[in-house]
Amino acid sequence: MLASQRHLFEMPRQICYLNSASYSPLPLRTLQAGRDAVMRKGRPWTLEAGFANAQHERARAAAARLINAKADDVALIPSVSYGVATAARLFSIPGGSRVIVLENDHSSPVLEWRLRADALDLVVETIGEPDDGDWTSAILGAIERPNAAPVALASISSVHWSEGGAIDLEAVGTALRRQGAIFLIDATQSAGVIELDVSRLDPDFVIFPTYKWLLGPYGRAFIYVARRHQGGIPLEQTSAGRCNVRAENAVYFADTGYVDNARRFDMGERDHFISMEMASIGMEMMAEWGAAAVRERAAMLTERIAKGLQAIGVGVPDERLRAPHILCLKFPDGMPAGLVGELAAEGIHVASRIGRLRVSPHVYNDESDADRFVAALAARLRG
């Protein structure tokens, strides 16, 4: 099993950080790269001519590697919501058809379709949280419900952000293909931890940022766009997305045709000298460890916590149905007021999400972190 990587982070021993599903700390290498990058921006005359493009392509390749995509099929974007808005321009949805979203899913894969519902005559169908925690069965049941309007799109998270439910993307993708429906995956809570192979799964879009599980900064995200959608109009009109609009040309607008790959969807103002390399480092580290190793370590820690809580009356999701790296705890009488703050005062950091306590360890955590959290939570509930 992959050992704890705490030594690669600036994390004091008294800190028990179990909140990667909100945002991760940055590795020491990344912190130093950020400092160096700030100095470079302070002295822009030191930048080589090809520096910016090398940064773009390093990050693009790192993101593509995580989902087994080709770099040509990945665009640089600032956020998941930007990616969803980009995707929304690339296909049409027949009036009267259904768009599948999940109850209490994050806003990013949901709100775009609610905005468009009336104008496009869409039925945005929200799949309610299943009593048994089996999101996959609930989604499949909705897709295949007899006599229902056809499904045109499923826009869902790969792991439910607020309750930690895992979703069988392969089963959902197969059901959607039978209806000719679009599959948009918000992989924020799974990229780098749970294997997602676009060459096998063949989704239409996969979108993820770096600031959570990928150990990177805010403002850096990526969208995989299947080749069948790469002929569309980008959200922004940029010189980088065109074949030959270059400042060094004698004629600036030499060729305004779009490039023939996902690079046409790159965001404007993409020369982020400081954060682009920082994003690359975290993704490269995750790829070097491998999703299977990261998942195994996180699963060991969440299972250790789950077993430790068995005797204190906390609701723990079935191991078969929850993501291996996120544990969302229910309280029979509701979460005690002030619980998250009290734990934080002891250096134990978790999050409150939709009435649950969300615990999300990463490679920098170890068994002592898990045991310390269990002991602290048990003491408060018994007290």
304 inside domain = yes
Asked whether the predicted pLDDT for residue 57 surpasses 80, the reply is yes
Using one digit for the tens of pLDDT, what is the confidence trace for 72-105? 999 999 999 999 999 999 999 999 999 999 999 9
Which of 287, 314, 344 terminates a domain? The answer is 287
The pLDDT of residue 69 is: 98
Q: In what order do the strands lie in the sheet with 356-359?
A: 327-329, 356-359, 351-353
The pLDDT of residue 143 is: 97
57 inside domain = yes
- 110 with 239, same domain: the answer is yes
172 inside domain = yes
- 68 with 169, same domain: the answer is yes
Domain count of the chain? Answer: 2
Which of 252, 271, 287 terminates a domain? The answer is 287
Q: How confident is the model at residue 271 (pLDDT cuts 50, 70, 90)?
A: confident
- 304 with 232, same domain: the answer is no
37 inside domain = no
Q: Which whole number is the average pLDDT over 269-280?
A: 92
pTM of this prediction? 0.96
- 20 with 91, same domain: the answer is no
31 inside domain = no
359 inside domain = yes
- 183 with 53, same domain: the answer is yes
Both tokens assigned to 228:
């069948």
36 inside domain = no
- 135 with 21, same domain: the answer is no
Asked whether the predicted pLDDT for residue 39 surpasses 90, the reply is yes
The pLDDT of residue 127 is: 97
Compute and round to an integer the Cα radius of gyration of the chain: 22
CB neighbours (10 Å) of residue 146? 4
- With a CB cutoff of 8 Å and minimum separation 6, the contacts of 251 are none
Both tokens assigned to 184:
């948009």
Query: Can you give the CATH number for the domain in which 366 is found?
Result: 3.90.1150.10
Q: How confident is the model at residue 272 (pLDDT cuts 50, 70, 90)?
A: confident
- 22 with 79, same domain: the answer is no
Which of 287, 303, 324 terminates a domain? The answer is 287
Q: Which amino acid would we find at residue 30?
A: T
Q: Which residues share a beta bridge with 123?
A: 98
- 369 with 224, same domain: the answer is no
140 inside domain = yes
Which of 196, 165, 170 lies closest to 292 in space, CA to CA? Answer: 196
Both tokens assigned to 173:
């993708």
- 177 with 52, same domain: the answer is yes
- 179 with 153, same domain: the answer is yes
Q: How confident is the model at residue 200 (pLDDT cuts 50, 70, 90)?
A: very high
- 307 with 161, same domain: the answer is no
CB 239 within 8 A of CB 88: no
Asked whether the predicted pLDDT for residue 376 surpasses 80, the reply is yes
Using one digit for the tens of pLDDT, what is the confidence trace for 108-164? 999 999 999 988 899 999 999 999 999 999 999 999 999 999 999 999 999 999 889
Query: Can you give the CATH number for the domain in which 263 is found?
Result: 3.40.640.10
- 12 with 147, same domain: the answer is no
Give the C-alpha distances (Å, rounded to integers) separating 240 from 19, 78, 202, 220, 268. Answer: 37, 16, 27, 17, 8
Q: What is the 3-state secondary structure (H, E, C) of the chain?
A: CCCCCHHHECCCCCCEECECCCCCCCEHHHHHHHHHHHHHHHCHHHCCCCHHHHHHHHHHHHHHHHCCCCHHHEEEECCHHHHHHHHHCCCCCCCCCEEEEECCCCCCCCHHHHHHHHHHCCEEEEECCCCCCCHHHHHHHHHCCCCCCCEEEEEEECECCCCCEECCHHHHHHHHHHCCCEEEEECCCCCCCCCCCHHHHCCCEEEEECCCCCCCCCCCEEEEECHHHCCCCCCCCCCCCEEEECCCCCCCEEEEEECCCHHHHCCCCCCCCCHHHHHHHHHHHHHHHCHHHHHHHHHHHHHHHHHHCHHHCCECCCCCCECCCCEEEECCCCCCCCHHHHHHHCCEECEEECCEEEEECCCCCCHHHHHHHHHHHHHHHHC
Which domain covers residue 354, as residue numbers? Answer: 6-26+291-382
